Amino acid sequence: AAVASTAASGAATALLAESSGRDGAAASADAQRVGLDASTLALSLELLRSGREAAEEAAGSLLTHREHLSAAEAEAWERTAQRLRSAAASSGGSGCSCASGWSDEAVLRLLLAVHANAHPVLDDATASRTVGLGLFPAACLLNHSCAPTGVLSFEAGGKVLVVRALVDLRRGQEVTYSYLDEPHLFAPWRQRRALLRAAHRYEPSQPRSREESEAAALCRSRLPAAALGELEAEVRALCSEAAAAAEEAEEAAARG
């Protein structure tokens, strides 16, 4: 796993701006065009400085969604990768020696992999405050579901990602989690589908339990008993998870 703190985001942005010089306005325009934020930039720089072997281990097998980019987006990413490589090479110390082992193409692939797969890292105590951005290769294998069977949490200051079950899992049952944050997870299907298409470049499917419940709500008909039972079980599981998290937070606060 690789993690960059929120404090590192500002430093990475400043480094790229300094390296870009007179090209600063164009660099900002390219970043805005492709949706590159400071956290993604900081984590990519952290991996770049860690060395080619370590970075390939963390991100080499991950999807980049490069095939979905428009020509303009691809060119903007290419220019950004060139600037990032130059920034790392000119920053001195380990950045200078490590950047020399990277081509622009390799840095581009790294940037795209981080952008497509990184997870926001939440604080250990309350899981409500973003403290950085991390790349956890094993967690990248998990699929999205709008009726998830698991939830992500963090330990050891965000360096360890833990997947906790929200329901009793059967042997062989898929572990899923929501790619959407909580407010968006409870949005109508049309909004969730649009967000997932835009952010994750794939065609999502609506779980049957949620399809039935939303259809019932829209037509004000009675919810089928089976679907109601499933929803009640999901709500109970979520409440239990929330209560356990609150108890852990109180214990951590008491110890601290």
DSSP 197-221: HHHH-S-----HHHHHHHHHHHHTP
Cβ atoms of residues 2 and 43 within 8 Å: yes
Summarize the confidence of residues 178-203 as an average pLDDT: 87
- pLDDT tens figures, 123-146: 888 877 888 999 999 999 999 999
Which residue would you say has higher pLDDT here, 90 or 52? 52
Residue 127 CA to residue 130 CA, distance in Å, equals 8
Which residue would you say has higher pLDDT here, 34 or 252? 34
Which residue would you say has higher pLDDT here, 240 or 214? 240
- pLDDT value at position 181? 87
- Confidence grade of residue 21 (pLDDT, cut at 50, 70, 90): low
Q: Which residues contact 16 (CB under 8 A, 6 or more apart)?
A: 27, 41, 83, 84, 87
- Residue 203 pLDDT > 60, yes or no? yes
Summarize the confidence of residues 92-110 as an average pLDDT: 72
Alpha-carbon dihedral sign for residues 129, 135, 138, 144: positive
- pLDDT value at position 48? 86
- pLDDT value at position 171? 93
- pLDDT value at position 220? 52
Q: Which residues contact 233 (CB under 8 A, 6 or more apart)?
A: 167
Looking at every residue in the chain, the average pLDDT score rounds to 83
Least confident window among 27-41, 151-165, 215-229: 215-229
- Residue 75 pLDDT > 50, yes or no? yes
- pLDDT tens figures, 143-161: 999 999 999 999 988 899 9
Total-model pTM: 0.72
- pLDDT value at position 76? 93
- Confidence grade of residue 169 (pLDDT, cut at 50, 70, 90): very high
- Residue 167 pLDDT > 70, yes or no? yes
- pLDDT value at position 33? 86
Percent of the chain predicted with pLDDT > 90: 29
- pLDDT value at position 215? 73
Other residues' Cβ atoms within 10 Å of the Cβ of residue 97: 13
> Which amino acid is located at 237 in the chain?
A
Summarize the confidence of residues 194-212 as an average pLDDT: 84
- pLDDT value at position 14? 73
- pLDDT value at position 94? 46
Which residue would you say has higher pLDDT here, 78 or 237? 78
Summarize the confidence of residues 249-253 as an average pLDDT: 76
